Amino acid sequence: MSDDSINSVTDKNDNAAGPAVPFEEVPDAPPPSDSQAAQIVELDRDISVAVGDKLVEINNLTVTFGGLTALDDVSFDIKRGEILGLIGPNGAGKTTCFNAMTGVYKPTAGSVTLEGKSLLGLKKNAITRAGFARTFQNIRLFGEMTALENVVVGLDARHTTSVFGALVRSPRHIREERSAIEHGMALLEFVGIADKAGELSRNLPYGYQRRLEIARALATEPKLLCLDEPAAGFNPAEKQELMGLIRTIRDEGYTVLLIEHDMKLVMGVCDRIVVLEFGKKIADDVPKAIQANPAVIAAYLGVEDDEDGVA
Ligand SMILES: Nc1ncnc2c1ncn2[C@@H]1O[C@H](COP(=O)(O)OP(=O)(O)OP(=O)(O)O)[C@@H](O)[C@H]1O
């Protein structure tokens, strides 16, 4: 992980009081069933491109740091409704690509468009509102808030009451607050951690924290969900479960961009894979073709960690 700028935000987030906590207790009602949760979580947002068409286009994207070209003239697209894997050896430029797409880094050249509209120059918050959400290699949650509160924060981004409405607790604000709690519980149920809704996120087991990050990202109803190494630190059984969750997310109408080192997971879950090496794109194909691609095999030769092998 090389984006130190992100680490400092983690600390800030952990210490931040966050937005005023809108409720003190988890609601008495039982959490929704799996099928109810899936229904609530289903993507309900207007997207102007059809399933299978280009949702995101990355054209000639270049990012340099001083003399180092971390991303070199990279172009690829992401089709609505697919799970696209972004892989490559350590330092290949995957996180830099994510960061340039989500407004953390300003690209040196090139463009990123969502539904044909450029995102360049937009601040991170504006890019979130436009429809990108992401999780981070180094988990970033509001540690002093409960799991449910962390998700409700994400939902707040989609709310319409004014600050004044919230202060005077207008009927619309109260309605939104209630539906946020129900929606938040459904999201926690969907990712499989509703039993820990009332626990402070910093006290949650590691696997729960990773799932909570996904729930919080889903709360913004993203047009593109970017997952940065979501399986890091997981055991094989947890990885298997995560694969199922990512597929279900896709099946609920979301489009997913996945950076992941575990090849078994990438090959098992992705519809298509883009491979980077030294900042350049070296392949873009379906998993079977990627596994047999000589340039990809060569890029991974010499990588000692078993997980990084393409076989
Ligand atoms: N903020 C930065 N300042 C300077 N160099 C950076 C910065 N961020 C990334 N780099 C460099 O850019 C190159 C690409 O790094 P990046 O983190 O994007 O690779 P990656 O493919 O995500 O690697 P990993 O799998 O190890 O996370 C590396 O050489 C890295 O050292």
Q: What distance in angstroms lies between residue 148's CA and the mean position of ligand 1's atoms? A: 33
Strand, helix or coil at 132? Answer: strand
**pLDDT at residue 137, rounded to an integer:** 75
The residue that leads in pLDDT, 25 or 40, is: 40
Q: Is the CB of 1 under 6 A from ligand 1?
A: yes
Instruction: Give the pLDDT mean for 147-156.
Output: 85
Q: Which ligand 1 atom is nearest residue 1's CA? A: 27
Tell me if 234 sits within 8 A of 242, measured CB to CB.
yes
Residue in 3, 64, 96, 259 to alter for ligand 1 test, most ligand atoms within 8 A of Cβ: 96
All structural domains of the chain = 46-131+221-302 (3.40.50.300), 144-218 (no CATH)
The residue that leads in pLDDT, 149 or 174, is: 149
**pLDDT at residue 88, rounded to an integer:** 93
Q: Is the CB of 70 under 6 A from ligand 1?
A: yes
Q: Which ligand 1 atom is nearest residue 92's CA? A: 21
**DSSP at 123:** -
Q: Is the pLDDT reported for residue 83 higher than 60?
A: yes
Q: Which of 280, 135, 303, 305 is nearest to 219 (CA)?
A: 135
Q: Is the CB of 65 under 6 A from ligand 1?
A: yes
**DSSP at 33:** P
Q: Distance between CA 303 and CA 250 in Å, rounded?
A: 31
Q: What distance in angstroms lies between residue 287's CA and the mean position of ligand 1's atoms? A: 24
Tell me if 189 sits within 8 A of 212, measured CB to CB.
no
Q: Distance between CA 81 and CA 224 in Å, rounded?
A: 9
Residue 163 confidence class, pLDDT cut points 50, 70, 90: low
Q: Which of 206, 138, 142, 141 is nearest to 2 (CA)?
A: 138
Q: Is the pLDDT reported for residue 2 higher than 50?
A: no
Q: Which ligand 1 atom is nearest residue 99's CA? A: 18
Q: Is the pLDDT reported for residue 76 higher than 70?
A: yes
> Sign of the C-alpha dihedral, residues 187, 146, 242, 300?
positive
Instruction: Give the pLDDT mean for 86-103.
Output: 93
Q: Is the CB of 89 under 6 A from ligand 1?
A: no
Q: Which ligand 1 atom is nearest residue 88's CA? A: 21
Q: Which residue lies with its CA nearest to atom 11 of ligand 1?
A: 70
What token pair was written down for 23?
């409720």
Strand, helix or coil at 126? Answer: helix
Whole-prediction pTM: 0.81
**pLDDT at residue 181, rounded to an integer:** 85
Whether this model's ipTM surpasses 0.85 comes out as yes
Q: Which of 196, 183, 56 is nearest to 117 (CA)?
A: 56
Q: What distance in angstroms lies between residue 91's CA and the mean position of ligand 1's atoms? A: 5
Strand, helix or coil at 269? Answer: helix
**pLDDT at residue 48, rounded to an integer:** 86
Q: Which ranges in the chain belong to alpha helices (H)?
A: 4-15, 34-41, 94-101, 124-130, 147-156, 163-167, 171-191, 206-219, 236-251, 263-269, 287-291, 294-300
Instruction: Give the pLDDT mean for 55-67.
Output: 96
